[in-house]
């Protein structure tokens, strides 16, 4: 589960057209950060879900999450303006975190909240404890 940090500020400062363009650019960066066969989907607003397939270890997930964070930290230039930006990521693993899709998303959302709570611009694995 990926959420844009402070996306409302982009819309409020530069307008919704810039915000929409920004989300399109973000989707492109996300798609280029994952592997062939992985899924990047926008849920709505500034929330995305990324489904990684064929994962065999947390280390593989960490590697991709770090690649996503690096890609989203690179300068964002829209209409000759540099826009500061970062994302936060919540990670839930199947079947360790949940075996049902709805619960898996809910747990990833809980992990996302922890990532934001601990400083944003990071990822956090769901911990049932």
77, burial (CB in 10 Å: exposed 0-12, middle 13-18, buried 19+) = exposed
Identify whether 5 is a catalytic site residue: no
Tell me, rounded to whole angstroms, the distance of Cα 43 from its chain centroid: 11
Helices (H), the chain: 7-14, 16-33, 58-73, 101-117
Q: How far apart are CA 30 and CA 127, in angstroms?
A: 25
Residues contacting residue 118 through CB under 8 Å, at least 6 positions apart: 124
- Does residue 41 contact residue 49 with C-beta atoms inside 8 Å? yes
Q: Which of the residues 5, 12, 46, 109 is marked catalytic?
A: 46
Helix (H) or strand (E) holding 41: strand 39-44
Residues with a catalytic annotation lie at: 46
């Amino acid at each position: 589960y990926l959420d844009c940090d402070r996306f409302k500020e982009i819309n409020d400062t530069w307008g919704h057209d810039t915000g929409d363009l920004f989300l399109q650019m973000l989707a492109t960066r996300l798609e280029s950060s994952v592997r062939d066969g992985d899924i990047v989907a926008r849920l709505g607003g500034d929330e995305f879900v990324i489904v990684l397939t064929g994962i065999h270890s947390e280390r593989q997930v960490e590697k991709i999450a770090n690649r996503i964070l690096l890609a989203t930290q690179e300068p964002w230039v829209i209409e000759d303006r540099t826009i500061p930006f970062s994302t936060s990521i919540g990670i839930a693993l199947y079947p360790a975190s949940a075996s049902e899709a709805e619960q898996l998303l809910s747990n990833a959302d809980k992990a996302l909240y922890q990532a934001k709570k601990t400083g944003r611009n990071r990822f956090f694995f769901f911990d049932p404890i």
